[in-house]
Structure 1
């Protein structure tokens, strides 16, 4: 008979670094080896813009970072078409879009004026993914929402998935209406992949804010020993953590077990590597990253 019960084995951080208590960790502040100094936030007039701004302000104030607002406008300079395939410049459309952009800038500047010491503004004309990837090339974090590349009522587009694959900076993806709140544990999804290690390294400054950190290993005997290495890596940076080894029952997917744990503890954030398999394979056959982006049970910090 097959046992399909999910089992958890919790390993404390104390065996790794007993001198690093959570109380002691709170006095250390952001780790100097991995500072988070430059935060980019996607500015787009949709119903999630305020959520992105709130998260950026919260992280900037707690970690001493600077905020750069990145506004992307699609190139509409030549949009009128004739029957022969010609495209023509339409000044009225350009002027209307310019007014919309200026209004958005005034609105965001007013929102941020009393909340942070200063911020920068970048306006880029082009495709949203390409523009944000370009802008984030030297950033420490890029904040976006789960979808919506176009107008507020447009069908959601896979903006976050594209950015997680292409951006050099880690991508913080916020679910609809979800505020960034560090009163709950942070889950670090660990499978000993390059992507998971990359996400862990990038997440260090944010993890200093976490109430608790749980390194979650789902049914992978080969990854379990290296979770100790990840725990040691965090401990040396003053971050206490525990390891949760979850048995993988037959017939269950890794993403479903991860979702179960998220439902149990309601984490403030899930840190994970993005697209350990190619994105095309995940789109066709499914995968953990794709499942998380489709369901968005919690804020995600992704790195590829």
Structure 2
């Protein structure tokens, strides 16, 4: 399987430019189409929370202001998209005839962002997210794409990144989530010039699981080295990022939310740490 459709949820923020740059780089490498998605809030969903004492005119003014705000944000997304696609030499196409590849499409869809993103993620090969307004990459829309829609996601760092996947590190812990991330990353791994399997634990770490993954990847024509990392009591997420960055990695592949989201939120976890601190592209699957 190759990467042919890349969904990129955008909100009209300045940081969208960096996310687009990373997504365009990936689309160019794979000859893929980027679908830039703007989820337009439905202002009528807020009406039940306004209370009975609000006049009809006030309600109409609020609805109109919300529509105008969404129009402005959508226009910013389209402007950014036109500029970025033009610089990359990608045509912007509409729905209908078979599009040239690589290319770009723009969708403006009304609805709750999480639901819109999840719906459009289901038939996408990869969903690319940047930092959200909360500082956590992708916000709840990333969780919707990865967990509700079951699709792999890529966290784009704050700085536009190209190329993505020349040197790949795999965080391997034998979990189902990590295995799904590996299979989702096969198109990147087959193109990579260097692949490293990172197994993080204590000084008695068993090398066999990493070797088993290396044998599997060899069947796909991927040569991978196994690197055992002694965490020395430090948090696994911190050690993982530090090791990947020092190795010059430009794509980290890992499972997401091996523990429940609630547990990760309460006690912290690898996924939450990576989403908050990643400085390199990260491909995750659940």
**Native 8 Å contact 2:166 2:192 kept in 1:** yes
Name the CA distance, whole Å, in 1 between partners of 2:25 and 2:164: 10
Call closer, same or farther: CA 1:78–1:275 in 2, change over 3 Å: closer
**Native 8 Å contact 2:25 2:161 kept in 1:** no
**Native 8 Å contact 2:10 2:38 kept in 1:** yes
Q: Does 1:74 align with 2:48?
A: no
What residue is the counterpart of 2:89 in the other structure?
115
What residue is the counterpart of 1:191 in the other structure?
173
Call closer, same or farther: CA 1:231–1:74 in 2, change over 3 Å: same
Call closer, same or farther: CA 1:55–1:297 in 2, change over 3 Å: closer
Q: Does 1:234 align with 2:217?
A: yes
Q: Does 1 or 2 have the higher relative contact order (CA < 8 Å, sep 6+)?
A: 1
Name the CA distance, whole Å, in 2 between partners of 1:103 and 1:258: 36
User: Which secondary structure does the structure 2 equivalent of 1:208 belong to?
Assistant: helix
Deviates more, 1:127-136 or 1:223-232: 223-232
Name the CA distance, whole Å, in 1 between partners of 2:277 and 2:259: 19
Call closer, same or farther: CA 1:116–1:77 in 2, change over 3 Å: same
What residue is the counterpart of 1:210 in the other structure?
192
Call closer, same or farther: CA 1:124–1:264 in 2, change over 3 Å: same
Q: Tell me the number of residue pairs that the alignment of Structure 1 and Structure 2 aligns.
A: 264
Q: What RMSD over aligned residues (CA atoms) do the two structures have, in Å? A: 2.6
Q: Which runs of 4+ in 1 moved over 6 A?
A: 220-223
Using structure 1 for the length normalisation, give the TM-score: 0.77
More helix by share: 2
What residue is the counterpart of 1:57 in the other structure?
24
Q: Flag structure 1 segments of 5+ consecutive residues without an equivalent.
A: 1-33, 149-154
Alignment of 1:134-149 (within 5 A): 134-148=119-133
Q: Flag structure 2 segments of 5+ consecutive residues without an equivalent.
A: 92-102
What residue is the counterpart of 1:156 in the other structure?
135
Deviates more, 1:155-164 or 1:236-245: 155-164
**Native 8 Å contact 1:269 1:299 kept in 2:** yes
Cα deviation, residue 181, structure 1: 3.3
- Matching residue within 104, 107, 126 for 2:77: 104
**Native 8 Å contact 1:70 1:121 kept in 2:** yes
Using structure 2 for the length normalisation, give the TM-score: 0.81
**Native 8 Å contact 1:190 1:223 kept in 2:** no
Name the CA distance, whole Å, in 2 between partners of 1:78 and 1:281: 30
